[in-house]
Structure 1
Amino acid sequence: MKYELHESIGFKINQTVNKINSKFSQVLQKYEIAPEQRATLEIIKYEEDVNQTKISQTLGKDKTTISRALRTLENKELIIRNKADRRTNIIKLSPKGEEILEKSQKEVKEFRESIIQNLSNEEFNTLKTLLEKVASNVECK
């Protein structure tokens, strides 16, 4: 039986995200990190003077969620927080965080390529554009 939910773009996007995250979790399992943790490590490596706010904005997550994630990464000794001022920490990768990021790079690249393998460049670019439009529509509401 079909009902409205099955035709919802949000439902379709959520189903796809859940499948991607589930498979990506399997890829990252041997590194003992979750997909969002891997993304956070990548942001920390490539963004200058990154702090909790910048990570929150980049991932589209609230600060509380990011704070919890950073605490987990810190407990795993994958990041180091340095006080910039009374309220802000600059976050850097620890040597262990650098190592995990580097070791997982090939598998992450292969995984990212595998999920778009049957899309042409035009289809891939169209998909990105459409997803950006949907996101923009949500922000406008």
Structure 2
Amino acid sequence: MSEPFIDQFLRLATGEATFAAGQHIFNQGDAITWLYLMQAGTIHLVRHQADGNVAVLQRASPGMVLAEASVFSSHYHCDAVAVTNSEALVIPVNSVRWLLRNEPVFAEYMGFLSIASAATGTKTCRDRDPQNCGGSSKRMACLEWWLDAIKR
């Protein structure tokens, strides 16, 4: 996530949370009340498959919003499990929803992240997935590419 958007999340944060390795942060079906801006560690979003396998949907690390697409839903569609001891800022989802209604650029970018996180296949900047663009300068390049793309 680019710095201007992280700044928005930092202003909305109401506290911090720590999670031990192996701890569930939320489970599929739980009501969405919070978003988490990762500060340290790694948390995976996982979905348990009918065949017993586990699909990892997101590998959230520092600077990333855990399950950002959940802002568009009322209930989580997967589980979040801390892979390592982790820390995150806690952000009320209703505050993010307020931004979505009142800040058009923020809303467009969050919509972009939601679509990108649902994409399959190769994950590169060109394929509109800022989560896999590497460092913050590459993420900013992704954002600039995306902003240019929506102007067309």
Q: Same fold (TM over 0.5)?
A: no
Larger Rg: 1
Question: Hey, which of these two has a bigger chunk of helix by percent?
Answer: 1
Question: Hey, which of these two has a bigger chunk of strand by percent?
Answer: 2
TM-score relative to the length of structure 2: 0.29
